Amino acid sequence: MTLFFIILPALVIFLLGFIAQKLVGFDIKSISTMSLYILSPCLAFRTFFTNDITLDYVYMMVAALLLSFSLLVITYIVAKMLRANRSESSALILSSVFMNSGNYGAPVVLFALGPAGFDYAVIIMVLHSLLMNTLGIFFASLGGQEGGGYKQALQSVVRMPVLYAAILGMFCHWIDLELSSPFQDALNLVANAAIPVIMLVLGMQLAVISRKKVTYRFVVSASIIRMVASPIIAAFILSFLPLNDLAKTVFIIQAAMPAAANTTMLALKYDTEPDLVSFTTLVTTAISIVSLPIVLYLTI
């Protein structure tokens, strides 16, 4: 029960966003865009600016790439076994490979492991954003009605403010730049607002998901890969990497997160089975209420 209380604050905030969206009907896109272009970059800049650049960054990038590749291969095989068409295969990949490391993972890590673990969670969030805005867009466009592929993915990476903020943070740390107190206070205020806002956005996004016509064998398969296979594979990969215990714990917790809410936006944009992707996001988020306390019990 104590472990459930770790994720309870996150669930309460998700519920608040869910109820507010049902009652008021906010413009989710505007709030999400504000988070993407202002709040999250400030959080990323502060994290990379205030932390020493170590080999742990490289190891986490390697782990993230290996995990994504492993899940991609498994999902591709499962899609072939289920005789999924190209659009359905792409939707399965979107639902299985990309976890909700920002809206959900980072807050849970903060509640469970404190600021030290949270810094690792933000680093993973940045890495995951890079992967989602390359591989995610490629597979979404591959399975959808609109073209794009590599060109669209590359254009998306170029427009990623959180990536530039992370690089700028590392550079400022490297040259030992000192921010004056007013700038530091302003940065902290905006960065501290990032997590509660993106949590509310997730609740709002869940409120507008509707179940239309979905193939349940695809939903079940994607949910098993995302919620069961992902943390197990992550733990296996980490056993070969010289990361410290805290970083490994954070990575496994992040790997156990439900499907990323942003994959629904990609599926909608490219018409890649959006009902399947959105419903899988809802199902895996519901499963996480039970699965995350188990993962926390096994890792912390």
Q: Which amino acid is at 163?
A: L
Distances (CA, A) of 244 to 55, 240, 298: 11, 12, 17
Question: Can you list the positions of beta strands (E) in 82-193?
Answer: none
Nearest CA to 263 out of 202, 185, 180 is that of: 202
Q: Which distant-in-sequence residues (6+ apart) come within 8 Å of 266 by Cβ?
A: 94, 132, 136, 137, 140, 272, 277
Q: Which distant-in-sequence residues (6+ apart) come within 8 Å of 177 by Cβ?
A: 49
Q: How many CB atoms lie within 10 A of CB 179?
A: 14
Cβ burial of 90 (10 Å; 0-12, 13-18, 19+) is: buried
Nearest CA to 288 out of 254, 264, 257 is that of: 257
Are the beta carbons of 89 and 76 closer than 8 angstroms?
yes
Average pLDDT per consecutive 10 residues, the chain (300 residues; last block may be shorter): 82 93 89 86 90 86 95 96 92 94 91 92 88 82 63 67 88 90 93 88 84 84 97 97 95 96 79 87 93 93
Angstrom distance (rounded) from CA 210 to CA 172: 45
DSSP assignments along 9-21, one per residue: HHHHHHHHHHHHH
Question: Can you list the positions of beta strands (E) in the chain?
Answer: none
Q: Which distant-in-sequence residues (6+ apart) come within 8 Å of 26 by Cβ?
A: 20, 204
CA dihedral 40, 41, 42, 45 (to 10 degrees): 120
Q: Which distant-in-sequence residues (6+ apart) come within 8 Å of 147 by Cβ?
A: 141
Count of domains in the chain?
Answer: 1
| β-bridge partners, 259 | 99
Structural domain range at position 71? 2-299
Nearest CA to 90 out of 223, 265, 225, 277 is that of: 277
Domain of 91, CATH number, reads 1.20.1530.20
pLDDT of residue 208: 84
| β-bridge partners, 99 | 259
